[in-house]
Structure 1
Amino acid sequence: MLDQLLLILLLIAVSAFLSMSEISLAASRKVKLRLLAEGGDAKARQVLALQDSPGNFFTVVQIGLNAVSILGGIVGEQALSPHVEALLRPLYDGPMLGTLSFAVSFVFVTSLFVLFADLMPKRLAMVRPERIAMIVVRPMLLCVWLFAPLVWVFNGLADILFRWLKVPGARAEDITADDIVAMADAGAQTGALLRQEQHLISNVFELDSRIVPSAMTARESIVFLTLSESEESIRRKIAEHPHGKFPVCEAGIDSVIGYVDSKDILPRIVQGQDLSLRTQPIVRKILMLPDTLSLFEALERFRDAKEDFALVINEYALVVGLLSLQDVMNTVMGDLVSPFQEELIVRRDDHSWLIDGVTPIEDVMQALDIEVFEGFENYETVAGFLMYRLRKVPRRTDSVLYAGYKFEVVDIDNYRIDQVLVTREAGPVE
């Protein structure tokens, strides 16, 4: 009996090794393994090679696990049934004694295999998959070499069946932006990343999904100069609006011809020189961007043109806004606000927010933790959301209930929604 028990323990150990090998290879992250391999770790390179061609490895694992399970059942029944029967005979000596002793032996051996050969090894492998995979990789490569003939037979049959069923035989390893954002979120939950770092990573990938109007300064807020602008007017605008650059137009904003840099104007003011924009060649060529570009594409245009300032036009060549590199970076940094820019979302208390009507709907989603806004493809701002829901030009005190919040118009400036009061509602969610 002792020899048979030792054989059962040996089979459990072999099964545990195979189970750990299987799970650790499947759960090992390629990104982490590549970093180790680039650092000179030969075992990490071997694990990566196995992951690239896992067919032979998993074939050996399945052959071993099935063989061990069958052998363990046979040995366990032969080893324990007679002794269990002897223990049970004083309590019961009827015709079902043999069946009962077999059942007890079966449950006991199965429990040993489930606990020590399957459950515990797999949980251990899930905790440290890369480390365990590098420990078991060389013994498993030896097993793959030893069982090569069986592997060739079973792999060939499996490949034939896969082709017949039109099932892919290899795992796709494409990593998407959503995967990276999910990994960053998991890192923030475990404490490996700061929440600010996780938000920064998420915002970077949002640049490709958010279009220019979501971050630009609206048309009516653009401060511009004209060719016929008087010196007094130029001085007043620069004093009241201390921007770095100003668009220059012939008459209105839609007749833009370029821009002037404050660095070119201020020395003239200090030296008392003429500030006429018509006679002095200080107007530079301005970058124009279509309003259909994503923020990532706009960033590339800034880089190619070596500019940090552009006007945004629509399909009718009308100016709809102004976008600066600072606007794009504010989108990435989230809470970064320039000294001359007011916050668009102001939290009044735990249950209410005051939001500017031009606030991008993506920023509102983050502030209020709303997963998606209905019809979000039809508008860019919270004002657009209200107009979409109300199906009219809103008036003061008009309100919308959505996702457990009440959006109420509190200030309107010439049909433009200036301020929206958002309060968390306790009632039913639309």
Structure 2
Amino acid sequence: MEEELLELVDGELFLTIGAILLLIVFSAFFSGSETGLTGSSYARMHQLDRKGDERASRVLALREHSETMIGAILIGNNITNILGSVLATTVFLRLFGEHGVVYATLVMTVVVVIFAEVLPKTYALNNSDRVALAVAPLINAIVFILSPIAKIVRAIVRLLLSMCGIRISEEFGHSEQEEELRGLIELHGHKVEVDEEEVREERAMLRSILDLSEVWVEEIMTHRRQVEMLDVEDSVEDIISQIMKSPYTRLPMFKGDHDEIIGVIHAKAVLRAVKGLSGEELEKLDMREVASDPWFIPTTTTLLDQLQAFRARREHFALVVDEYGAFQGIVTLEDIIEEIVGEISDEHDVAVAGVRPQADGSYVIDGTVTIRDLNREFDWDLPDGEASTIAGLILHEARTIPNVAQEFVFHGFRFKILRRHRNQITLLRVSKETPTETENETLETTRLPDGS
């Protein structure tokens, strides 16, 4: 019996077993390469490519034709697995007779799953970039060799899918790229021990950069009611006095009516103009000659377009007008920058207490505070599509001008009107609703008898 077994275990059998092991190694290579190339960071590969890394360039080239790459890898992987299984069946048939098929199936299933699938894919999943850079040159050559077969297979697959009414889109549009980027922003700091407050601020900044092309200037502008303006008909002394008292460097100048803006006064320009002038010369100074020409922009300008316009014109100050040409407010370069980095304060800024936290967890808020500022500051999710201020949101949701002490519940918050001036909501209390309350439901809960 031993002699017969020794006759079976000859040199050819050892070569066959060696070939099976080599095929398993090739299968593991294909499996790990697929996971590494598809799971590698496109942004990091692009950055390495810009630095001149040829391996990263090959990775990007492979990913540009991902269907052909995956098809070639799968063809190579299946060839090695099938050939390995056939050779293993041959070996086990020689050793154990007709029962060898069962043994070959069990052994190859365990070996292929563990050593050719799970092990290489797990390693590649945790080291995607490193694996992608390492295998890119060899995979590139394999794809070149197997691409004709891969293209034929791809054509057959597309034909079958089209017969089933399934359409394949090869385009990865801007909106999909932006959504992916937003997802990465939300993952920033995930499962990493970092300062939560710092991560929250970084996320807000990154989200704001992406939002620049979707936000209109009217949503962040300083409304005309809050704009300090100069009357050209005032005396030079009065104008200089107003400029000195104002915390702002640039002030619009109007003639007769606030909509008739004729220029923008810069404090430095005034200082240069009045330097060395005597009393009589100062009275004769024409402030219209000192003022620069006003720059009017429509309310429908996006922040991204306006930021680029500020840079192109080397301006910091613009006047916002509506479709009828009526003056609506002002927007500055600082306003746009604050949309990205948050509030920027200096020693001349006026401290406007627009939001005052209360001991019970609620907030007393001025009606002119913008929804975007509240969402940014408290990480709320109030909609700002139909209204830019918190007072405007209440008017939009309530569909009526509320009275003092009326309360509304919508979007998970309770709003109570504290003060109203004519038809304008000037002060309100905002608090988060308890989980038992129904969200997005508008309720009128209280109305005082006097109603104002």
For 1:314, the equivalent position in structure 2 comes to: 322
For 1:178, the equivalent position in structure 2 comes to: 179
Structure 2 distance, partners of 1:296, 1:42, is 35
Using the TM superposition, give the Cα deviation of residue 159 of structure 1 relative to its aligned residue in structure 2, in angstroms.
2.5
After superposition, residues 150-229 of structure 1 pair within 5 angstroms as 151-159=147-155, 161-162=157-158, 165=162, 167-168=167-168, 170=170, 172=172, 176-189=177-190, 195=199, 196-229=201-234
The answer on whether the counterparts of 1:337 and 1:343 sit within 8 Å (CA) in structure 2 is: no
After superposition, residues 55-134 of structure 1 pair within 5 angstroms as 55-76=67-88, 106-134=105-133
Using the TM superposition, give the Cα deviation of residue 62 of structure 1 relative to its aligned residue in structure 2, in angstroms.
1.7
Alignment equivalent of 1:244, drawn from 243, 246, 249:
249
Paired-residue identity, %: 23
Structure 1 distance, partners of 2:361, 2:324, is 42
Q: Assess, with a 3 A threshold, how the Cα gap between structure 1 residues 38 and 301 changes in structure 2: closer, same or farther.
A: closer
For 2:429, the equivalent position in structure 1 comes to: 421
List runs of 5+ in structure 2 lacking aligned partners. Answer: 1-8, 440-452
After superposition, residues 5-404 of structure 1 pair within 5 angstroms as 8-76=20-88, 106-144=105-143, 147-148=145-146, 151-159=147-155, 161-162=157-158, 165=162, 167-168=167-168, 170=170, 172=172, 176-189=177-190, 195=199, 196-231=201-236, 233-266=238-271, 268=274, 273=279, 274=282, 281-338=289-346, 339-342=349-352, 344-348=354-358, 351-371=361-381, 373=383, 376-404=384-412
The answer on whether the counterparts of 2:407 and 2:416 sit within 8 Å (CA) in structure 1 is: yes
For 2:413, the equivalent position in structure 1 comes to: 405
Of 328-337 and 165-174, deviating more is 165-174
Q: Assess, with a 3 A threshold, how the Cα gap between structure 1 residues 202 and 119 changes in structure 2: closer, same or farther.
A: same
Structure 2: which amino acid aligns with 1:70?
Answer: I
Using the TM superposition, give the Cα deviation of residue 387 of structure 1 relative to its aligned residue in structure 2, in angstroms.
0.4
Q: Assess, with a 3 A threshold, how the Cα gap between structure 1 residues 311 and 139 changes in structure 2: closer, same or farther.
A: closer
List runs of 5+ in structure 1 lacking aligned partners. Answer: 86-96
Please, what is the CA RMSD of the aligned residues?
Answer: 3.5
CA-to-partner distance for each residue in 1:289-339, whole Å, 9 max, x for gaps? 111111222223323433211221112222111112221111121132343
Query: What is the TM-score normalised by the length of structure 2?
Result: 0.78
Structure 1 distance, partners of 2:184, 2:133, is 23
Structure 1: which amino acid aligns with 2:36?
Answer: S
Structure 2 distance, partners of 1:141, 1:40, is 18
The answer on whether the counterparts of 2:236 and 2:287 sit within 8 Å (CA) in structure 1 is: no
Structure 1 distance, partners of 2:335, 2:283, is 29
Structure 1 distance, partners of 2:206, 2:69, is 36
Structure 2 distance, partners of 1:263, 1:44, is 53
Of 317-326 and 71-80, deviating more is 71-80
Secondary structure at the aligned position of 2:190 is classed as helix
Structure 2 distance, partners of 1:20, 1:328, is 47
Q: Assess, with a 3 A threshold, how the Cα gap between structure 1 residues 231 and 416 changes in structure 2: closer, same or farther.
A: farther
Using the TM superposition, give the Cα deviation of residue 412 of structure 1 relative to its aligned residue in structure 2, in angstroms.
2.7
Of 306-315 and 26-35, deviating more is 26-35
Q: Assess, with a 3 A threshold, how the Cα gap between structure 1 residues 276 and 214 changes in structure 2: closer, same or farther.
A: farther
Using the TM superposition, give the Cα deviation of residue 107 of structure 1 relative to its aligned residue in structure 2, in angstroms.
4.5
For 2:450, the equivalent position in structure 1 comes to: none
